[in-house]
Structure 1
């Protein structure tokens, strides 16, 4: 049987702050349109420091505050991901540079900066890991909501 699901992978440095939020928000976006079964959505890290760990507690609190479910653990991107996923979305320019270096030649995934889909033009989703409070996580959530809608519109207009 042919798998016709669209596949999106959200990437940040450690897969415990930004990419889990982006993954959860985009999953909720497609679920709210009753299209969740047509998507395979995940997130991963550039580096392997947090593999197997849940997201930062501030990321989980932010998602919970907005009634966005999340139950996943950090993993590192693999070379196979570049052929499995249709879209791999980084959170900042450093992620994009690393993704372009890691991508095997001829891989199918489109490498995209998630922030390019923000209608407010806020292109970089800043890493809130070292913040002393949750404000950066809230900003990441708000950007992810806008970018998810913008990314969805982009996909819907693709041929």
Structure 2
């Protein structure tokens, strides 16, 4: 049984594709690529059909990550096939909870940085879109830090499904 994870930000061109790329690499490195599917989407359709932001692609490439991406909007019907929906900030968390058709679906939604024990009280990944390259570097760092705990949690869920 495949475990499905979807990262969600605003337009699906910065934060969520970066998180998708990093987490997919972690899944592959752990040898779990056949068990876990990773994808991303946005809460809005402003950039639907576009590639990721060139700055996001540049930062990912510089750090050894690959990304083949087309932006798309998150659809409520997706909850039925997803096991975990990861919001990149509290605004996305609220938007996703409003879209969730059932309480069970709403329970699938988490903030990505909740998997980073060092994140403390600020669990939002700031939107780098209106800033410079340093914002994308900061975003990548936060995503990488949260991905370690996320992978451990997802691995536990996958092993629980297989038992």
TM range (shorter): over 0.9
Unpaired segments of 5 or more residues in structure 2? none
Shift of 1:107: 4.9
Residue correspondence of structure 1 range 6-155 to structure 2 within 5 A: 6-108=3-105, 110-121=108-119, 122-131=122-131, 133-155=132-154
- SS of the aligned residue for 1:27 comes to helix
Shift of 1:152: 1.2
Aligned residues: 155
Task: Considering fraction of residues, name the structure with more helix.
Answer: 2
Shift of 1:100: 0.3
TM-score by length of 1: 0.93
**Is the Cα–Cα contact under 8 Å of residues 90 and 114 in structure 1 kept in the other structure?**
yes
TM-score by length of 2: 0.90
Unpaired segments of 5 or more residues in structure 1? none
- SS of the aligned residue for 2:47 comes to coil
Shift of 1:103: 0.9
When structure 1 is superposed on structure 2, of 149-158 and 10-19 the one drifting more is 149-158
- SS of the aligned residue for 2:118 comes to coil
When structure 1 is superposed on structure 2, of 102-111 and 64-73 the one drifting more is 102-111
Residues 77, 107 of structure 1: CA spacing in aligned structure 2 closer, same or farther, 3 A cutoff?
farther
- SS of the aligned residue for 1:36 comes to coil
1:48-87 C-alpha deviation (Å, 9 max, x unpaired): 0000000100000011001101001100001221111100
1:78-98 C-alpha deviation (Å, 9 max, x unpaired): 122111110000011100000
Q: Give distance in 2, aligned partners of 1:117 and 1:72.
A: 24
- SS of the aligned residue for 2:34 comes to helix
